[in-house]
Amino acid sequence: MAHKVTSRVGLRFLGNLRTTEVHDLTRETTQCQIDEILRAGHAVGFRPDTLAQAHSERYDNCAYCIGGSTR
Ligand SMILES: [Zn+2]
């Protein structure tokens, strides 16, 4: 399940609750604006911390760090 996070520590994937986009923190770009997402309180982590889990919760790929957005 997606759960709110206030830090990226220990996470591979980070979702934006507001846009329902998921980011891969190992391939993060400046366009991902991860720090802004965290600061705004819109950041979520996933259990398990996998892309498949994010997709199952209807999160869409970030175009910058993952690609293949379906929106
Ligand atoms: Zn991204």
Q: Taking Cα atoms as reference points, which of 40, 59, 42 lies closest to residue 1?
A: 59
pLDDT score at 70? 73
Q: What is the pLDDT of residues 14-69, one digit of tens each?
A: 999 999 999 999 999 999 999 999 999 999 999 999 999 999 999 999 999 999 98
Compute, in angstroms, the gap from residue 5 CA to the centroid of ligand 1: 16
For the segment 3-19, the average pLDDT, to the nearest whole number, is 98
pLDDT score at 71? 77
Compute, in angstroms, the gap from residue 21 CA to the centroid of ligand 1: 8
Taking each continuous run of H as one helix and of E as one strand, the counts in the chain are 2, 5
pTM here?
0.94
